[in-house]
Structure formats: structure tokens, C-alpha cells
Chain A
Amino acid sequence: MNRSARVLVIVLAVGLLLGMGVHFDTQYDDRWPYPTTDAIEADDGALVGQEVFVSGVVDRVDRAADTGRILVSTADGPFEMTVQNFDAPVQQGGAVQVVGRLDSDHTIDARTVRVVNPSGSSTLFKYGVSLVGAALVTALVLRHWRIDPRTLSFEVRRDG
């Protein structure tokens, strides 16, 4: 494949990715089977009683009252929700998914609470390990492949 054909494929791929990104975002609200977090935040009572699914960062846990307060992201930034039946082994800064019935005042009567990150440090661990993975795969590719400056493409290293 010559250089101009290669550039054309890459430009087409970037265009397709942008197109999919636009299509996905415009269709998502209609395809997601629950009210969106934007709709929940703006709700004036019309959504009360509906089942919702939200992800949020844990701000406070009250074990005695069996409730938790989570910060849920929207397009305009995070807002607070109170989760009843918050039975999950998670600390402040952790992340949870909640499915349950929406009550008034941004409160969810949780049916299921699943812990995604047990604490804030879990995210740090994940990113740290991911950096190791990125370094590993980069080193391995460059060990077996080299960039041919003449064709500006990867060629197999005969000594790889």
C-alpha cells in the first residue's frame, strides 16, 4: 500500500470515528433504557417512581441509617443523590452503580448497589497498572517491529 493510500485510510478512519462519536451521542438517550442523569437532575417529580440506573462517586456513607450520598455526573457537572438501602462495602471516594426506584429530592430507593471502585485509591491502582501495560506493549511491538524510514511503515525485525 503506497503512502497516499495509507493517509487516505487513516483520514477515513478518523472521519468514521468522529461520525460514530456524533451518532452515538445523539442516539444514546433514546437507546439507554433508563432516564439519563441530566433528566434526573432536572426532574420536577415526573420521573418519581421510575427505575433508574446511575453511577456515582461516594461522598458520604451513613451505615446506621443505611444511606449513602453519591455525586452523579451530568453534562453540566456533578449533582448529589441520596441512596437508601446503601448496603455496599465502599469508602468515601469509591465508585458505585445503583439501580432502584427514584423518589423525590434526588433520592433512590436502591434495589442493587454494586461497587465499581471500593475507594479513591482503586482508580490510582488501575491507572498505574495500565501505564505498565502501555509500556509493556510498546516495548514488545518495537522489539519485533521497526519503522522503515524509506516507506514510513513497520517492518519485521529480523533479529526480533
Chain B
Amino acid sequence: MADLLTHVLVPFVLLTPLSWRLSWLSDQWIVLAMAGAAIPDLVKIRIVLDSRVIESLLGVPFSYAPISTLGGVLVVAAAIAVCFGDHARRAYGYIVFGGLTSLVLDGLRVFADGQANFWLYPFVWWRPPTPSLYVTSDPRVTAVAIAAAATVFLADRYRAGFGE
């Protein structure tokens, strides 16, 4: 998968220009989409807690991989969204949106056989075709994401200053 910084910047780049047209799309919702974009990266929990530990506790085979799938995003987003009280439903939508952008972005990365992983699980066991646009550690991907986010940020500040 792409690095976490790239993941969280993508919803910012996509939603901030929309917020210039849509008054209800304010910054607090955009940051929730950015937080949602981090959900697939939670699969890295395996670095600190090996799946074999969970397997020994449960007594059955276990994988963290579903966290980086559509099902994982929908479920983790629900657990996070309920922490937003009266805003839970709206928060859920933005968190899921952010998670989806990360899944789609990861679905475009390099796979040697031209098909991505099972990121649509559990709805379908299918490996969608990938254009193999980038490798996960390519710093150019991060550079493009930072440049795009900086451009959007400056344009947003300019508009905010212009409106005052």
C-alpha cells in the first residue's frame, strides 16, 4: 500500500476544492475523511501484535488482511463513527469515503500478475485488474501527494483571505 501520509492527503486534495462550492463541507468533516483514509493502514498492527498471537488466543487461523478491505473499512469506520455522538451518521460517511480512497489508491499499485489483492472482500472474492502505476515505496508518489496537497492548501488559504 501507499504510505500513510499519501493516504491521508488524498481526501484533503479531493474534498477541499469541493468545499469551495459546498458550504456544508467544512474542515471538520474533511479531517474525518483524512482519518478514515488511515483505516487500511491499521493492518500494520501485525508489526506489534503478530497474527499468530491472535491465532493462539482464538484457537483458529487468523489474518489481519481484512482490515485493508472494503469490509474492514466499513466495520472499523462504524466503531470510530459512534464516538462522534450526534454526528455519528455523518461522520461515518466521511470516514468511509476516506477509507475507500485509500483502497482505490492501493488497488492501482504494482502487482506482478496485473491483478490487485482481494480488496473488495467480503462482498466478492475477486482481484480487480491493476494498472500497476506505482510501487509502495516510490518517493515520487509521496512527492506528488505533498505537492498536490500544498497547492490545494495554498489555494484554500488564498480563497479564505480573498473572502475576508
Contacts and interface: CB of A to CB of B under 8 A. Distances in A.
A112 B110 CA distance: 12
Contact of B5 (A31, A112, A130): A130
A145 interface: yes
Interface string B2-42: 01111111000000000000000001100110110110010
Nearest to B118: A31
Contacts of A81: none
Most buried by B among A20, A26, A33: A20
Contacts of A126: 3, 136-137
Contact of B79 (A13, A129, A130, A151): A13
B60 A133 contact: no
B105 to A, nearest CB: 13
A53 B32 contact: no
Interface in A111-128: 112-118, 122-123, 125-126
Contact of A117 (B28, B58, B71, B137): B137
Interface string A83-123: 00000000000000111000000000000111111100011
Contact of B58 (A22, A115, A125, A156): A22
B109 to A, nearest CB: 9
A25 B87 CA distance: 35
Contacts, number: 158
A95 to B, nearest CB: 8
B139 interface: yes
B31 A141 contact: yes
Interface residues of B, number: 58
A137 B8 contact: yes
Contact of B35 (A112, A131, A141, A156): A141
Contacts of A144: 27-28, 31
Given A134-B38, A148-B85, A155-B85, A99 B31 contact: no
Given A137-B31, A144-B31, A160-B28, A123 B137 contact: yes
Given A9-B78, A10-B82, A21 B113 contact: no
A18 B37 CA distance: 21
B4 A130 contact: yes
A133 B27 CA distance: 17
A6 interface: yes
Most buried by B among A10, A24, A26, A134: A24
Nearest to B132: A114
A25 B62 contact: yes
A114 B135 CA distance: 9
A132 interface: yes
Contacts of A33: 127
Interface of B: 3-9, 27-28, 31-32, 34-35, 37-38, 41, 44, 51, 54, 58, 60-67, 69, 71-72, 75-76, 78-79, 82-88, 91, 110-113, 118, 121-122, 125, 127, 132, 135-137, 139, 142
